[in-house]
């Protein structure tokens, strides 16, 4: 089902897990999702304190360097007991210096330690998506999604990425790492944000 005149977009992320999810979510839309690495686009700086500002910066960066429409997402996990942390720092939560390599395992371990004495385990994944048709697009398309759940005390499951092994979807009783991709994409923050974005793309 072709949803718009868009044929190719660059996904402004070096995260292979996100890229796979995005390509799967857009199957059948008529839109080809290309990795920014295919154009040797380096990761953009993400200096802002809000998801929306970082997503817009990444989208403009990739579009500027490729000359193509660009889609960026900025997402993370926000934990109630930690006043919203890790938040925009989710990917590098356990990094001590800018040169440290990002590690899902290290991030999960740090979060579990931070919540070791907490009874409030409520958390939510948040995702904002920004699509720009060109680098200086004054009217970027913006969509968001939220996935509510809880943080477990130990990891479960082998699918997904990021905090999925310790994030419990209460409705299903499964972690993000125990859900197959079809089910996850229907309820996840990224899946919900993309569906909202696709509805807006149809109006272009």
Contact between 123 and 150 under an 8 Å Cβ cutoff? The reply is yes
Q: How far is CA 158 from the centre of its chain?
A: 18
Please give the Cα distance from 124 to 29 (Å, whole number). 28
Of 96, 93, 69, the closest CA to residue 82 belongs to 93
Query: Are the C-beta atoms of 112 and 168 separated by less than 8 Å?
Result: no
Tokens encoding 22: 């995005």
Q: Give, for 59, the enclosing helix (H) or strand (E).
A: helix 51-66
* Residue 202: CB atoms within 10 Å: 12
Backbone CA torsion sign across 31, 43, 52, 151: positive
Q: Are 137 and 188 in contact (CB under 8 A)?
A: no
Catalytic residue among 73, 74, 104, 164: 74
Contacts of 28 (CB under 8 A, 6+ apart): 1
Hey, what are 98's tokens? 């800018």
The answer to whether 74 is a known catalytic residue is yes
Q: What residues act catalytically?
A: 74
């Amino acid at each position: 089902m072709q949803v718009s005149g868009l044929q190719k977009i660059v996904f402004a992320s070096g995260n292979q897990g996100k890229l796979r999810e995005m390509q799967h979510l857009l199957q059948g839309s008529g839109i080809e999702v290309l990795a920014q690495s295919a154009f040797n686009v380096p990761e953009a700086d993400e200096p802002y304190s809000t998801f929306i500002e970082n997503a817009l910066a990444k989208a403009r960066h990739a579009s500027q360097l490729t000359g193509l429409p660009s889609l960026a997402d900025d997402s993370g996990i926000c934990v109630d007991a930690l006043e919203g942390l890790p938040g925009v720092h989710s990917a590098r939560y356990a990094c001590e210096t800018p040169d440290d390599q990002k590690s899902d395992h290290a991030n999960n371990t740090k979060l579990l330690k931070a919540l070791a004495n907490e009874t409030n385990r409520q958390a939510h994944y948040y995702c904002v998506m920004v699509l720009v048709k060109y680098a200086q697009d004054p009217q970027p398309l913006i969509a968001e999604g939220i996935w509510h759940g809880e943080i477990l005390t130990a990891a479960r499951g082998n699918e997904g990425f990021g905090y999925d092994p310790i994030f419990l979807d209460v409705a299903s009783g499964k972690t993000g790492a125990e859900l197959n991709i079809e089910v996850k994409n229907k309820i996840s923050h990224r899946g919900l944000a993309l569906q909202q974005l696709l509805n807006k793309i149809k109006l272009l």
